[in-house]
């Protein structure tokens, strides 16, 4: 209807999607035979369309009864950047670059980035604030080969948005989280006391099968609680 060129199963799929988007969970979707009539296609074609929506988690089939809008599934946390995370909390995210330069990768960073020691990496150290108050210090190390001209382009507000623009938005990450107390230097930057509780967060972020970012952050524990959703429920 809308697209003469579109594949039939795509047409049916998008028609059903538009029908049920916004509908309450449990609402009935059109029956398969009804869609066969409406689009004048074979039932297998309709099933192909519906299968996609079922896999997506939008629809749920109940044999003998029909097809219905599925209850939204609880899913694992999406990978978010600091900027997005603060926005979600209703806080204004700001960053102050303390350091941004080309360095030779040390042994730890090289291993984490799948590079050889001495390879060029970009080291970017920022003091990050939320609503104007220090929240964390982040040291990010980036694989320079993947993002040529990054330093010259001027530092972006959001690292993940900048990576996204290069088609390297991280989609998977391995994080480690531990508790510690602030060193004197950290306490100074974070405007807190030496010995105050801090959360240390390390991340190894992957995009397109390549490790693009390795970072170490230290958060003021009095300002930051990490939230994680794990697993998946039908």
Partner DNA sequence: GAGTGGTCTAGACCACGAT
Partner DNA sequence: TCGTGGTCTAGACCACTCT
d(CA 61, CA 66): 6
Look at residue 37 and give the partner it binds from DNA, a second copy, none, a contact being a CB closer than 5 to 8 Å depending on partner kind: none
Look at residue 132 and give the partner it binds from DNA, a second copy, none, a contact being a CB closer than 5 to 8 Å depending on partner kind: none
Q: Are 197 and 181 in contact, with CB atoms under 8 Å apart? A: yes
Is 175 one of the binding residues for a second copy (CB under 8 A)? Answer: yes
Kindly tell me which residue out of 50, 147, 199, 211 binds a second copy, with binding defined by CB under 8 A: 199
| Secondary structure class of 6 (helix, strand, coil) | coil
Is 181 one of the binding residues for DNA (CB under 7 A)? Answer: no
Residue 182 corresponds to which tokens in the numbers above? 């602030």
Interactions with DNA, residue window 2-21 (CB under 7 A) = 7-10
Look at residue 100 and give the partner it binds from DNA, a second copy, none, a contact being a CB closer than 5 to 8 Å depending on partner kind: none
Q: Are 76 and 83 in contact, with CB atoms under 8 Å apart? A: no
Q: Which residues of 42-57 are buried (b: 16+ CB within 10 A; e: fewer)?
A: eeebbbbbbebbeeee
Q: Which is nearer to DNA, 65 or 78 (CB)?
A: 65
CB 74 → a second copy: shortest distance, Å? Answer: 5
Q: Are 125 and 97 in contact, with CB atoms under 8 Å apart? A: yes
Contacting positions for DNA (CB under 7 A): 7-10, 29, 31-34, 40-45, 47-48, 61-67
């Amino acid at each position: 209807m809308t697209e003469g060129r579109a594949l039939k199963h795509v047409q049916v799929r998008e028609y059903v999607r538009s029908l049920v988007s916004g509908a309450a969970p449990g609402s009935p979707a059109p029956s398969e035979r009804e869609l066969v009539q409406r689009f004048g296609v074979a039932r297998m074609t309709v099933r192909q369309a519906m299968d996609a929506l079922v896999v997506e988690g939008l629809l749920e089939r109940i044999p003998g009864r029909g097809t219905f809008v599925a209850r939204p599934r609880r899913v694992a946390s999406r990978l978010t950047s600091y900027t997005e995370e603060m926005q979600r909390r209703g806080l204004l995210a700001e960053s102050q670059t303390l350091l941004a330069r080309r360095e030779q990768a040390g042994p730890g960073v090289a291993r984490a980035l799948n590079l050889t020691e001495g390879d060029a990496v970009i080291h970017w150290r920022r003091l990050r604030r939320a609503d104007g108050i220090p929240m964390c210090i982040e040291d990010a190390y980036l694989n320079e080969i993947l993002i040529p001209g990054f330093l010259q382009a001027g530092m972006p507000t959001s690292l993940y948005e900048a990576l996204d623009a290069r088609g390297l938005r991280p989609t998977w990450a391995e994080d480690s989280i531990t508790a510690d107390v602030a060193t004197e230097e950290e306490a100074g930057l974070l405007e807190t006391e030496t010995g105050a509780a801090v959360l240390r967060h390390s991340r190894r972020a992957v995009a397109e099968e390549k490790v693009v970012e390795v970072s170490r952050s230290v958060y003021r524990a009095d300002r930051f609680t990490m939230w994680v959703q794990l697993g998946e429920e039908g």
